[in-house]
């Protein structure tokens, strides 16, 4: 696994798996090209959006304490926040399943830089001004802002700062003592720095290159959506809890089996990281088996956690580089082979709809899609990204794999879904985000 790392672009990696009841780790490379130390199983990495699985678990713990219910309206419970047009219908379940209706990447560019405890509430209080694609309860659209609202809700219900609530509800019960949000805590551990690859191919330590990050990877207001810092050993214990409900010696479970399994149920069609969304998890499939997974990227890091209930198996992969996805993808491919599975094959079809009807321009916060050159089976998309995680222009030809789903002909990682809102406005979902027709 670790031999798949390209040291020219990925300085350090850590992998953990449980297969056939056996727990194994592999690490390689260094924490920081400027001050190199060997990566160990206790080295801390930024998890990015894998943090959402922690936020979701804390919310479900509050559901089991009867302090929240999935059907609860959020507005009456969220002190000091005007949710605007979402106030009448937004529920806890909408937030947990990315159906709040917001163009959620707005949060990444507008989160306050403050490190004070009020930062999260300050971001949530801007809910009225966040662009929307539709009302709550509509189609899945990956929603970083909605997860910050969920974090603010957890603060409101518990009367604790978000990090303290996660520690009380999740981290301490499970004995995840190496997992934190704080640089002050991380500095007492071996910590990995994020890296980017310069135009000349040189590895650079990431220094606030993204608008949601300062020198420490994630702004406090964004902690519910991407702020957890952890090690491969802690994260493997985290994945095993979601697999079996078991904890480390001396630990206690933050959820009953019923609550834990409820998070894994496929609720709505999605896109990007999976085919369907649960409560904090994405579901994809291999040889017909359901795989729970979540990836995370941020400030020169990439992470993935995978749980395969039918095989009693989990996988964790961490990399300290913006080039980490290639390494993590190679580990994931190895893992599927080790389980004796493989990704379900792509089968292209001729749709009943006319692909030419989809031609046009579709927009989200940081991206424009141009759909052109339709045939009876395919359509071409030009993607213009203006965000920091994805930027530049790319194009692909996609074929239909269903009436509303498309996959790249030569690039099967490029996927789109299409649909219409209640008012008839057409949308395209790309990288999990809803883009609305101009």
> Does the pLDDT value for residue 388 go beyond 70?
no
Asked whether residue 180 is assigned to any structural domain, the reply reads no
Asked whether residue 299 is assigned to any structural domain, the reply reads no
Asked whether residue 289 is assigned to any structural domain, the reply reads no
Alpha carbon distance 253, 50 (integer Å): 19
Asked whether residue 416 is assigned to any structural domain, the reply reads yes
What confidence tier does 389 reach under pLDDT thresholds 50, 70, 90? low
The answer to whether 99 and 140 are in contact (CB under 8 A) is yes
Domain limits at 377?
355-437
Alpha carbon distance 123, 106 (integer Å): 11
Asked whether residue 181 is assigned to any structural domain, the reply reads no
Asked whether residue 66 is assigned to any structural domain, the reply reads no
Q: What is the pLDDT of residue 111?
A: 94
Helix 232-244 vs helix 51-64: crossing angle, to nearest 10: 40
> Does the pLDDT value for residue 61 go beyond 70?
yes
Q: What is the pLDDT of residue 386?
A: 83
Mean pLDDT of the chain: 94
> Does the pLDDT value for residue 208 go beyond 80?
no
pLDDT digits (tens, 9 = 90+) for 392-402: 899 999 999 99
pLDDT digits (tens, 9 = 90+) for 162-189: 999 999 999 999 999 999 999 999 999 9
Alpha carbon distance 8, 81 (integer Å): 47
Q: What is the pLDDT of residue 360?
A: 97
What confidence tier does 226 reach under pLDDT thresholds 50, 70, 90? very high
**Token duo for residue 349:** 């079809």
How many structural domains compose the chain?
1
Asked whether residue 85 is assigned to any structural domain, the reply reads no
Asked whether residue 184 is assigned to any structural domain, the reply reads no
Q: What is the pLDDT of residue 209?
A: 64
> Does the pLDDT value for residue 269 go beyond 70?
yes
What confidence tier does 199 reach under pLDDT thresholds 50, 70, 90? confident
Alpha carbon distance 218, 48 (integer Å): 8
What confidence tier does 38 reach under pLDDT thresholds 50, 70, 90? very high
């Amino acid at each position: 696994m670790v031999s798949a790392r390209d040291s020219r672009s990925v300085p350090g990696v850590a992998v953990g798996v449980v297969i056939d009841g056996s727990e194994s780790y592999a690490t390689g490379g260094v924490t920081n090209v400027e001050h190199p130390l060997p990566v160990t199983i206790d080295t801390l990495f930024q998890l990015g959006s894998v943090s959402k699985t922690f936020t979701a678990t804390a919310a479900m713990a509050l559901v089991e304490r009867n302090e929240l219910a999935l059907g609860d309206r959020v507005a009456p419970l969220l002190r000091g926040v005007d949710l605007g047009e979402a106030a009448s219908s937004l529920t806890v379940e909408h937030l947990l399943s990315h159906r709040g209706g917001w163009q959620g990447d707005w949060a990444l560019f507008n989160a306050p830089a403050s490190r004070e405890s009020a930062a999260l509430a300050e971001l949530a209080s801007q809910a009225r001004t966040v662009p929307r694609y539709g009302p709550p309860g509509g189609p899945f659209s990956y929603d970083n802002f909605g997860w910050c609202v969920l974090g603010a809700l957890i603060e409101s219900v518990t009367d604790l700062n978000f990090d303290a609530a996660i520690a009380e509800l999740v981290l301490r019960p499970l004995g995840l003592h190496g997992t934190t949000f704080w640089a002050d805590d991380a500095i007492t551990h071996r910590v990995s720095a994020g890296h980017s690859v310069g135009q000349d191919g040189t590895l650079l330590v990431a220094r606030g290159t993204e608008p949601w990050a300062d020198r420490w990877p994630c702004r406090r207001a964004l902690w519910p959506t991407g702020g957890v810092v952890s090690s491969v050993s802690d994260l493997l214990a985290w994945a095993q809890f979601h697999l079996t409900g078991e904890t480390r010696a001396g630990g206690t479970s933050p959820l009953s089996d019923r609550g834990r399994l409820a998070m894994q149920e496929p609720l709505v069609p999605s896109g990007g990281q999976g085919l369907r969304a649960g409560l904090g998890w994405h579901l994809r499939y291999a040889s017909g088996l359901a795989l729970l997974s979540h990836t995370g990227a941020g400030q020169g890091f990439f992470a993935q956690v995978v749980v395969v209930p039918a095989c009693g198996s989990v996988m964790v992969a961490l990399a300290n580089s913006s080039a980490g996805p290639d390494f993590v993808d190679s580990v994931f491919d190895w893992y599927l082979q080790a389980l004796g599975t493989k990704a379900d094959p792509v089968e292209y079809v001729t749709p009943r709809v006319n692909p030419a009807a989809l031609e046009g321009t579709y927009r989200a916060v940081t991206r424009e899609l141009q759909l052109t050159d339709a045939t009876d089976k395919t359509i071409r998309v030009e993607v213009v990204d203006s965000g920091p995680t994805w930027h530049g222009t790319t194009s692909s030809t996609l074929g239909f794999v269903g009436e509303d789903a498309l996959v790249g002909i030569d690039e099967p990682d490029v996927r789109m879904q299409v649909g219409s809102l209640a008012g008839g406005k057409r949308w395209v979902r790309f990288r999990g985000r809803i883009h609305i027709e101009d």
